[in-house]
Amino acid sequence: MTSGRKPLVIFGIGEMAELAHFYFNGEAGREVAAFTVDAAYLRDDTFHRTPVVPFETVAQSFPPSDFDMFVAIGYRDLNQKRSERCAMAIQRGYALASFVSSKADVWSGLALGANCFVMEGNVVQPYSRLGDGVVLGSGNLISHHATVEEYCYLAARVVLGGAVRVGHHTFLGLNVIVRENVKIGAGCLVGAGALVLKDVSDGQALLAEATPVSPMPAARVRGLL
């Protein structure tokens, strides 16, 4: 599922951009005509055998009347970089494309914002909503009536219970579980493996403790297997 069928310009040349190229071009059959980055970060004139042009002048070669854009920036600065570049692209007249993998289980009436990216294995239940710029890594569960506000990033295997609300510009790490009806504020960081059972205020960080290293070396533990 994508928005529109114009050829696409992808902002970025990092891992997220590489994934976007793979999914849009390979799965959705959407032509990726070019990549673009700020001129200060331009290191080569091609990426994946596709032209790379400065963002400052991209509209001259790939005008918004003929091309859509997807901003492929991850969770840097709690998603602020992605939201800033999306706003700049819109100001220049570009429509922002979204992608939902055909291997995701998504209800037909999903309210989906612009510049969203939903990878394989996601289950998005009825009456849930994804705001602009939401990225869902593989295998998340977005339960019924849940809302993921603008410019959030859910890494993978995140479980949101029914009617959960995740505030804008929030990052949820691998295997986070959020109980039903819980509200997570804006600009939060919830680390891998966290269990969230009550509301979280804006700007808070929840970090689960790592499994401690055993005092026994691996060679000795192996003998117990």
Residue-range domain boundaries for the chain? 8-91, 100-202
Instruction: For residue 224, name the pLDDT band (cuts at 50, 70, 90).
Output: confident
Give mean pLDDT, residues 6-21. Answer: 97
pLDDT at position 3 over 90 = no
Q: Which CATH class is domain 8-91?
A: alpha beta
Per-residue pLDDT tens over the stretch 158-214: 999 999 999 999 999 999 999 999 999 999 999 999 999 999 999 999 999 999 998
Instruction: For residue 220, name the pLDDT band (cuts at 50, 70, 90).
Output: confident
pLDDT at position 106 over 60 = yes
Query: pTM of the full predicted structure?
Result: 0.94
Looking at the DSSP bridge assignments, the partners of residue 51 are 46
Q: Which fold has domain 100-202?
A: UDP N-Acetylglucosamine Acyltransferase; domain 1 (2.160.10)
pLDDT score for 202:
98
pLDDT at position 2 over 80 = no
pLDDT score for 109:
87
